[in-house]
Chain A
Amino acid sequence: GESVGLHLPTLSVQEGDNSIINCAYSNSASDYFIWYKQESGKGPQFIIDIRSNMDKRQGQRVTVLLNKTVKHLSLQIAATQPGDSAVYFCAENFMDSSYKLIFGSGTRLLVRP
């Protein structure tokens, strides 16, 4: 089947270190990918997106890398801060007629002071 999955359910990092959250997808026809951050009791918050014609996109302290060859997506957070503690979801946009946004299973990021 087609799925969006994450390798690690929980990631613990030291404050100030860089974090890398990974995501695997299996639908080679997907052409749009998004990372969301969800804090406890809140809705998902858009972080960064990338289209399939790009390999890398940078935002403020965040970078998304897309490797279409191995169908892999990653989110890098530089100088991780306590406020980065949350659950992170990757999501992909299928190119079928429904144009659904399908979410991965999520990774919890814990930042140690």
Chain B
Amino acid sequence: DTEVTQTPKHLVMGMTNKKSLKCEQHMGHRAMYWYKQKAKKPPELMFVYSYEKLSINESVPSRFSPECPNSSLLNLHLHALQPEDSALYLCASSPALRGNEQYFGPGTRLTVT
């Protein structure tokens, strides 16, 4: 199984809503990532987890809150988002942090109204 799955595929939320994005991998990878991708732009790193501990936070606003419940799951909790947060949110995993290809999920298309 070389797949990273993400749910939901699409999400529309208001600025006062609370929602969560979910990511799952069963490849035994110990590093997991959240990226944000705007249209016609490359993915931008948001968070990195290594062995279920937050390793990197790229100065992401606190309205985005990551969580890694176990080695296979990664969540991104969303609260009080802004319309400019609308984007494709990608999850990825890799065997370890260093020098390994990252496997990406299909993403969640988020629209904030």
Contact = CB atoms under 8 A, between A and B. Distances in A.
Interface residues on A, range: 20 to 34
A112 interface: no
Determine which residue in A45, A49, A98 has the highest number of CB atoms from chain B within 10 A of its CB, and name it: A98
Interface string A11-55: 000000000000000000001101010000111111001010000
Contacts of A100: 45, 48, 56
In terms of DSSP, what is the predominant structure of the interface of chain B?
loop
Nearest to A90: B42
Contacts of B90: 43-44
Given A43-B90, A44-B90, A100-B56, A105 B101 contact: no
B72 interface: no
Contacts, number: 49
B56 A98 contact: yes
Contacts of B40: 106
Interface string B41-54: 11111001000000
A104 B45 contact: no
Interface string B85-113: 00000101000011101111111000000
A43 B99 contact: no
Contacts of B42: 89, 103-106
Interface in B9-68: 40-45, 48, 56
A32 B92 CA distance: 17
B102 A101 contact: yes
A68 B31 CA distance: 28
Given A100-B45, A104-B42, A43 B102 contact: no
A42 to B, nearest CB: 6
Nearest to B96: A99
Interface of A: 31-32, 34, 36, 41-46, 49, 51, 89, 93, 98-106
12 contacts: A31-B99, A43-B90, A43-B105, A43-B107, A45-B104, A46-B103, A89-B42, A93-B98, A101-B45, A103-B44, A106-B40, A106-B41
